[in-house]
Structure 1
Amino acid sequence: MTRYSATTPSRNAIMMFVGMMLVALNLRPALTSVGPVLKAIGDSLSLSSIGQGVLTTLPVLLLGLAAPMAPYAARRLGMERTVLAALIILALAMVIRPFLGVSGLFLGTAVAGGCIGIMSVLLPGIVKRDFPESASLMTGLYTAVLCTGAAVAAGATEPLRIAFSNEWQPALAFWTVPAIIAAVAWWLQLDGKQVPATPRAPKTSLFRDGLAWQVAFYMGLQSSLAYTVFGWLPTILQDRGIEPVTAGLALSVSILVQVPTAIAAPWIASHMRDQRAMVVLVMLATLTGITGSIYAPIEGVWFWVVILGLGQGGSFSIALTLLAVRARDTDTAARLSGMAQSVGYTMAALGPLLVGVLHERFESWNIAGLFLGLIALGAILAGLGAGRQLYVLEPEAP
């Protein structure tokens, strides 16, 4: 496939850019649309807090489990056709999952998470390959659009439920529309000449590298907080007395304000000696926002969700940055991305599930809040190791 220059964009480059942004727009709505209507789903299907926790956990677990499948699929189909297939399956999963009862809801949510996991692994490689002269800019734009999609789904799903006569099923199914649009746009930019990637010779396993594990742990722990917020923040706020629409809007605002720090945090960190100070800063902001949302007087909730969003935007973008700067070359960065996302998202799936278990057991969010605080502290420790100016698969200096 033709390499695209940032200075002389062709029609194909423009179409690829549009396609990539539309794909990025679909990487979170399947996840963030559930939280605002989780109580309605639970009441309708008689799901306990543990069952609701499993529902919020499934897509995150599949993000990790499906990540290793991405390179195998890309070798057989090519990266572009693999993304197209994932988009089509994602659209099908989202349109049918609300209408097939409990089993269909869980299965459709799991399939959607797997499709998102595959696309999440492949898109960074496509950016580096086709826009090598503006990879940082493209990554920033891609992250900003991803956050925008997450925020819109979080804020609009509950109003959609009300618009659809208080039915949550069509409100969830609505998010298949942007997936279909993205699939059409992605299909239109395919040139029909793509070939599967050539299999590579076996390389030294990153699973034997301590630094790679620190990157994976940081990715997983900060993601665990993010997906817990996606799944449970509206329910937490509703239990504290906030109306469902306002609770969904609070999550939407928290996600939307991630955009500036998602772009700024890596840029600021690039002017520092390494990423450790930025890791501590964004994780402390995340911890502060979570703590305030659960324990502080509810009148100040908007302040706390903004602090939470600023922290989580920075923590996510720093995690993506570590995948690139901890590797010497593009191939190693791609392998580190696959390993860290596979391990990290599988680990992250435990967060929403255990929060549901703790809430069910203690009938309060207080213990769950302490648990989330421990996750944040663990992310800081992992980030202090991952943020050092070192490279994977290279021995540390004595």
Structure 2
Amino acid sequence: MRKNAQTILILLTAMNLRLAVTAVTPLFGTIQHALHVSGTLPALLVTIPLLCFAAGAMVTPRLSRQVGIKPLLLITNGLLIGANLCRPSSPGALVLGTLLIGGAIAVLNVLIPIMIAQTTTTPTAVSRLTSAYSVIMNGLAAGGTAAAIPLAHWLGWATVLRLFALPAVVGLLAALVTPAIATPPTTTSQPPVFTLLRHDRQARGLTLFMGLQSLIFYSLVTWLPTIFQALGATADQAGQLLAAFQFIGIPAALVLNRVTNDRWLLTILAGGYLLGMLSLGWSGLGWWLAALLLGFTCSLIFSTALTWIATSSPVTNQVAARSAVAQSLGYLLAAGGPVVFGRLHEWGHSWSPVLLSFLVLMGLTIAVGARVLRQRR
């Protein structure tokens, strides 16, 4: 019964993992105009959380042992509620609220693999639960992205940002009624980051795999609408294409339940990346195909990374350590992506170098994934 309650808590917590970060991107222009700020500030609404993900992931395993998982869930959901409600107030509140949101999500990013490892007993069960929580995470983020502009016209952009607190309210109530959650044992201390990376080959591979796929996803979320507009799409079309990019993540997350052969899985991921990028050159229908293929692949590879982390060891403490390192350094790598690709576009006065760089990074990600597979055997 307790495991069933914890499973429900995991799924409800997943509602908070992307919504407040990715669903705000369609409102960048509106926020910039309303608060009379430069374009740099709205862009920070994506970069700041990624930096927080990196920093927060390092301290979460220790916090989960010292404070306990359930108290941490209550604290993080409370922070999400307060930060989402306050951040539309002013430019300063926007930055501070985004920092708090990033820190809270960083903790949840690491807690969920720990809770999955405690709740499930087989790799199949891990894949099933990871797929389910990815579906909820992607579904809510995609719905928020699609609804952000229409709701902003109706209710105002500030109200839309405040509505992002609702999933945290649900998560807080769920954490309150869930029975006590086991805390990871404190008998084995967590090794320092560089010690773990030096001695644990699988941790190195998982960290690079997590970082590369995150870099690709968050860079696409940031620049894909602009790229579509540069190719000839209208602003409304670009917003719809970004929503499709995220909505397709819902069925994509379920593929892990069907594809049990990891070699086939990597082949699907490689094909999705390649065909998605090639489809960008075909206007009209090709844009939709690109958005769907790239969104599908980004969602599937994210679920794959989380599953590989959660099943990397039968020891919960080791899963927690690997999860912390993979997510902290991985998101630190990802945080530079949107800025670097923006600078690359400015330098080349074209999106062609950016698109070529995406292809190179996608190939490297698949190669790292193949190496991680060999280490898991």
Return the TM-score normalized by structure 2.
0.88
| Deviation sequence 1:321-341 (CA, Å, 0-9, x none) | 221344354332232112111
1:153 Cα shift?
1.4
Q: Could you tell me which amino acid in structure 2 is paired with residue 124 of structure 1?
A: P
277-286 or 24-33, larger mean C-alpha shift: 277-286
CA contact (8 A) 2:117 2:126 kept: yes
| Deviation sequence 1:190-214 (CA, Å, 0-9, x none) | x4x5675542333664211333212
SS in 1 for 2:374: coil
CA contact (8 A) 1:70 1:122 kept: yes
CA contact (8 A) 1:227 1:351 kept: yes
Output the CA distance in 2 between the equivalents of 1:317 and 1:122: 15
Q: Paired residue for 2:106?
A: 117
Matches within 5 A, 1:256-295: 256-265=247-256, 267-268=258-259, 270=260, 272=261, 275-293=262-280, 295=281
Q: Paired residue for 1:367?
A: 353
Is 1:170 paired with 2:159?
Answer: yes
107-116 or 257-266, larger mean C-alpha shift: 257-266
Is 1:339 paired with 2:333?
Answer: no
Is 1:303 paired with 2:289?
Answer: yes
Shift of the 203–62 alpha-carbon distance from structure 1 to 2, 3 Å rule, reads closer
CA contact (8 A) 1:62 1:113 kept: yes
| Deviation sequence 1:191-246 (CA, Å, 0-9, x none) | 4x567554233366421133321221111011111112223323333454544444
Q: Paired residue for 2:239?
A: 248
Q: Paired residue for 2:119?
A: 130
- Which of the residues 21, 37, 40 maps onto 1:31? 21
Q: Paired residue for 1:395?
A: none
1:48 Cα shift?
5.1
1:389 Cα shift?
4.6
Q: Paired residue for 2:223?
A: 232
**Identity in percent:** 29
* Higher-helix-fraction structure: 2
State how many pairs are aligned. 371
Is 1:140 paired with 2:131?
Answer: yes
Output the CA distance in 2 between the equivalents of 1:232 and 1:182: 31
Output the CA distance in 2 between the equivalents of 1:241 and 1:333: 46
SS in 2 for 1:387: helix
Shift of the 125–257 alpha-carbon distance from structure 1 to 2, 3 Å rule, reads same
1:109 Cα shift?
1.6
CA contact (8 A) 1:49 1:356 kept: no
| Deviation sequence 1:147-203 (CA, Å, 0-9, x none) | 112211111111111212xx42222222112221221222122x4x56755423336
Output the CA distance in 1 between the equivalents of 2:320 and 2:305: 14
CA contact (8 A) 1:225 1:351 kept: yes
5+ unaligned residues in a row in structure 1: which ranges?
1-9, 392-398
Output the CA distance in 2 between the equivalents of 1:380 and 1:195: 35
